[in-house]
A and B are shown apart, each in its own frame.
Chain A
Amino acid sequence: DQQVKQNSPSLSVQEGRISILNCDYTNSMFDYFLWYKKYPAEGPTFLISISSIKDKNEDGRFTVFLNKSAKHLSLHIVPSQPGDSAVYFCAASKGTSGSRLTFGEGTQLTVNP
């Protein structure tokens, strides 16, 4: 029972263009959502988060959009840079305490120069 799903295993974009990574969830109890970025041979690192009381959160080149009615969130990276090439994990939790995150499968983003 995959409660958080990232349907695209990989995404390839040109440098300078927009990258859009998608995530769907099934558990309506989730009220806090996070994106993590992972480089090879490293642990995931926190990128950006959004509470269910918002529909958008922006941090520099990164914006997360939340559509609660569709149980869908997306991460936009504008403009994309080669250093953004990594695996991106979507995660969800009940509450903002940081505990018991449920992760999606991950999407490998490749930004081509």
Chain B
Amino acid sequence: NAGVTQTPKFQVLKTGQSMTLQCAQDMNHEYMSWYRQDPGMGLRLIHYSVGAGITDQGEVPNGYNVSRSTTEDFPLRLLSAAPSQTSVYFCASSYLGSCSCTGELFFGEGSRLTVL
């Protein structure tokens, strides 16, 4: 079982370039989200989606764009990369609504992005 799959695992960009981080999950989770991890700052929410066609901003959305055309996929687009976007990015998904589950997020392995 694949769970949450992120690609690429590593990427180096030049300032001003654009790129897309891919995220796919095979657990039929309604909720998907993107976090970035920076030293001393924990995990901060960038964007999230509660279902296909529905997206919303998290804590740090500036410079990023998302779309959710299917339940499985939730790509994160960097429109014009900046050095401040150098970070490790995690995609995560979970069930929504009432369930007997623990409500936890399932994370991908991360994508390390360096912007020069």
CB of B104 within 8 A of CB of A99, answer no
Residues 93-110 of A at the B interface (beta carbon under 8 Å): 93, 95-106
Q: A98-B94, A99-B48, A100-B45 are in contact. Are A41 and B104 (CB under 8 A)?
A: no
CB of A42 within 8 A of CB of B104, answer no
Contacts of A41 in B (CB 8 A): 109-110
CB of A97 within 8 A of CB of B42, answer no
Contacts of A4 in B (CB 8 A): 42
Contacts of A44 in B (CB 8 A): 43, 90, 105, 107
Which of A101, A104, A105 sits near B105, CB closer than 8 Å? A101
CB of A97 within 8 A of CB of B43, answer no
Contacts of B98 in A (CB 8 A): 97
Chain B residue nearest to A6 in the complex (CB): B42
Chain A residue nearest to B95 in the complex (CB): A98
* Interface residues of A, dominant DSSP: loop
Chain B residue nearest to A49 in the complex (CB): B102
CB of A103 within 8 A of CB of B94, answer no
Which of A42, A46, A99, A105 sits near B102, CB closer than 8 Å? A46
Chain A residue nearest to B112 in the complex (CB): A41
Say yes or no: is B103 at the interface (Cβ < 8 Å to chain A).
yes
Say yes or no: is B97 at the interface (Cβ < 8 Å to chain A).
yes
Chain B residue nearest to A95 in the complex (CB): B103
Q: A97-B96, A99-B48, A99-B50 are in contact. Are A46 and B109 (CB under 8 A)?
A: no
The chain B residues found within 8 Å of chain A, CB to CB, are 4, 31, 33, 35, 40-45, 48, 50, 58, 90, 92, 94-98, 101-110
6 A-B pairs with CB atoms under 8 Å apart are A34-B102, A46-B105, A97-B97, A98-B105, A99-B31, A101-B45
